[in-house]
Each structure stands twice: as C-alpha cells, then as structure tokens.
Amino acid sequence: MNNNIKISLGVILVIIIGIFAYYYSIKTDPNDILPTPLSSIKGCYVARLSKDVYTLTILSQSGESFEGTLSFKNFEKDSSSGTYKGTYKDGILLGRYSFQEEGMNSVMQVIFKKQGSEFIRGYGALNETGDGFADLNAITYDSSLPFKASKENCAVSL
C-alpha cells in the first residue's frame, strides 16, 4: 500500500508540474505582456524609371516619428532633393518633404504605403494651398514604381 501512495503522489506531482509549466508558458508569451514593437523601417529604398532614380532614406525612427531624405533625380529634367519628416503608423509613411527645385524652397506632403519590404507612393487631390492632400482616405497607390529596399549608398546632398 505504501508503494501505491508513492506512485499516486508522484503522478499528482507530475500533473501539478505540467499544469504550472503550461500556465507559465501561456503567461510568459512576450506578446501577451509587452506591446507589439514597431518594426524598423530605417534604411535605403530605391525606385527606378528608365534613367530616373528616386531614393527614400529613413535615417532615424523613434516610435511613430521618422526623419529621412527624399531625392528625385530625373534624367535631363529638373530634379529635387530634401528632408522628409513625419509619422509611420499602420504601414503608412506620411510626412513633409522640404526640398529645393529650380532654386526655390518648397514643402509638400508625401505619402507611402509599406508592402512587404517595399514602399509604394501614394497620390491624391491636393488641398487649396497645394502643399498637402485634401483627403487622406482618397489616396491611390501606384505599385508600378515601388521603392525597393536597397544596399546602395543613398546619401543625398542637401
């Protein structure tokens, strides 16, 4: 009878340890305890259209804020380059592009949507001043010219 008690206690102990191990594995899942971290978008992204080369460089990211540069180098046409600062939320990169073109300083709103490792530029009707979108819900994205992650040097002279 003494062996039966030892076996019963051993089985009960194994069951209790199994329950605690299962409970602990559920409660220690990092996704249950911590908020989901934002994925880093820092890096260089390049789009090419014939001899035109467009670069988006994300230099820093803190929470939903980012800072970087945009460059539109057009072959035999006016080009522009400048700073690009804004927010990255729910896969949408929305910011102000401050640039020089033909010797003039300009600012305009530029939007991208993240698809996989690429950014797709968005277009839409502009507001009355022409420096931002009239309706962010009416943006269309042109996937025919994706900005692809690149290991190229995306340094832009500002």
Residues 20 and 87 in one domain: no
| 156 located within any domain | no
Residues 59 and 132 in one domain: yes
- pLDDT value at position 156? 46
Residues 11 and 68 in one domain: no
Please report, for the domain that includes residue 99, its CATH number: 2.40.128
Mapped onto helix, strand or coil, the DSSP state of residue 89 is: strand
Residues 57 and 17 in one domain: no
Q: Is residue 79 classed exposed, middle or buried when 0-12, 13-18 and 19+ CB atoms within 10 A define those classes?
A: middle
Residues 71 and 14 in one domain: no
Q: pTM above the 0.85 mark?
A: no
- pLDDT value at position 29? 44
Instruction: Decide if 53 contacts 155 (C-beta within 8 A).
Output: no
- pLDDT value at position 28? 45
Strands 118-123 vs 140-141: parallel, antiparallel or unpaired:
antiparallel
| 158 located within any domain | no
Residues 87 and 145 in one domain: yes
List per-residue pLDDT tens for the chain, 158 residues long: 577 777 766 667 567 775 656 555 554 444 443 433 457 899 999 999 999 999 999 999 999 999 999 999 988 888 889 999 999 999 999 999 999 877 788 999 999 999 999 999 999 999 998 889 999 999 999 999 999 998 766 654 44
The number of distinct structural domains making up the chain is: 2
Strands 43-49 vs 147-150: parallel, antiparallel or unpaired:
antiparallel
Residues 134 and 95 in one domain: yes
Residues 71 and 120 in one domain: yes
| 157 located within any domain | no
Residues 51 and 82 in one domain: yes
- pLDDT value at position 25? 56
> For residue 14, what are the domain limits?
2-33
- pLDDT value at position 27? 47
Residues 6 and 49 in one domain: no
